[in-house]
Amino acid sequence: MLELWIRHEVRESERRCALSPADAGILIRSGVRITVEESPQRIYPLEDYVAQGCVTASAGDWVDAPESTVILGLKELPEEPAQLRHRQVMFGHAYKGQPGAQRLLERFEAGGGLLLDLESLADEAGRRQAAFGYWAGFAGAALGVLQQHGDLHPPIAATTSAELAERLRKYRDRPARTALVIGALGRSGRGAAAALVEAGVTPTGWDVAETRNLDRDALLRHNLLVNCVLAGPGTEAFLQRADLARPESQLTCVVDVSCDPGSPWNALPLYDAVTTWDAPAITVGSAAVIAIDNLPSLLPRDATDTFSADLTPHLRDLEGLTGAWQQCVTAYRTAVSAR
């Protein structure tokens, strides 16, 4: 029998969960056993999971779970234990040379566990099967609009997409601003465009064709840039710090939804560390730069429900690591062998 264990997220600003109570109930009724840890910030209360038949545990108890249990989470693990012996479903951010990547892989290797990185959960054509991209783009573009109108007041509290859209609509009668979304055809790009339209802005959309021979002068003629490109080998920088210092630059805000400052393939090497919900923007040249690495947590219920609906059909394949999970296994083994 497959046993899933939903762990508490150690990051205080992380309110999402990979699995909603409703989808947990669907899995339980199909024969899956699910344990859910207590978590004070998770958008869904523990009682909602209990009502669906989940078993409860204290935060952090996953370390003592039976070795056959699959641990389900989203963001970074605590520093201990040093050896990771379980199969862990999460966003590991360990395959692009990011800070801390080698240490994480060492912990899995030492404990005999397995990192099933959700970024690698893809079909044979490379299409990701579950992602938070749409709401990341929506949230990022919305924060960019708020920044431009002097209405970004930290600390920023979680909300819903309906409430955020209503807040954006009040800017529709303000002077028009120009916005550029790079990676416009992907999930994040579509979400960013939707938020901008709510604010009365019709964005310019660039994707692979428009960035193959990048027109940086045209880029700089926009007021707001929202980067939604998933960087990889060969990705070139769209902007450098010197570009934002150019007198002809009209950029007043740059939102990096992809947010990968530690990667050698970072498309926006304008900053050295991510920004936070308490300090969402830094100033670089003429522009404010927003680079929050868990943007969908602004919309935790919307993000959880959408992601969970995508992920749930694949969770049934975890017991035999069949289907798209084979892509995760291959990515992990390749990364470990390359260390």
pLDDT tens digits, one per residue of 112-131: 999 999 999 998 888 899 99
Q: Comparing 15-19, 121-125, 179-183, 251-255, which segment has the lowest mean pLDDT? A: 121-125
Domain ranges of the chain: 3-129+300-337, 133-292
Over the range 304-339, which residues count as b (16 or more CB within 10 Å of their CB) and which as e? bbbbbeebbebbbebeeeeebbbbbeebbeebeeee
pLDDT at 176 over 80: no
pLDDT at 158 over 80: yes
Give the CA angle between residues 188, 193, 195 to the nearest 5°: 95
pLDDT in tens, 45-55: 999 999 999 99
Farthest CA pair distance, the chain: 64
Q: Do domains 3-129+300-337 and 133-292 have the same CATH topology?
A: yes
pLDDT of residue 132: 97
Q: Which residues, in sequence order, are CB contacts of 140 under 8 Å at separation 6+?
A: 188, 192, 195, 226, 228, 255, 256, 257, 290, 292, 295
> How many CA within 13 A on the CB side of residue 180?
24
The larger pLDDT score, comparing residue 223 to residue 230, is at 223
Q: Comparing 26-30, 142-146, 183-187, 265-269, which segment has the lowest mean pLDDT? A: 265-269
Fold of 133-292: Rossmann fold (3.40.50)
Please state the pTM of the whole predicted model. 0.94
pLDDT in tens, 252-311: 999 999 998 878 888 999 999 999 999 999 999 889 999 999 999 999 999 999 999 999
Catalytic residues: 75, 93
Q: Comparing 35-39, 113-117, 135-139, 173-177, which segment has the lowest mean pLDDT? A: 173-177
225 with 255: CB under 8 angstroms? yes
| CB-count burial class (<10 Å; 0-12, 13-18, 19+) for 47 | exposed
Instruction: Average the pLDDT over 62-69 and give the result.
Output: 98
| CB-count burial class (<10 Å; 0-12, 13-18, 19+) for 257 | buried
Distance CA 300, CA 306 (A): 10
> Which of 3.40.50.720, 3.30.1050.10, 3.20.20.80, 3.40.640.10 would CATH assign to domain 3-129+300-337?
3.40.50.720
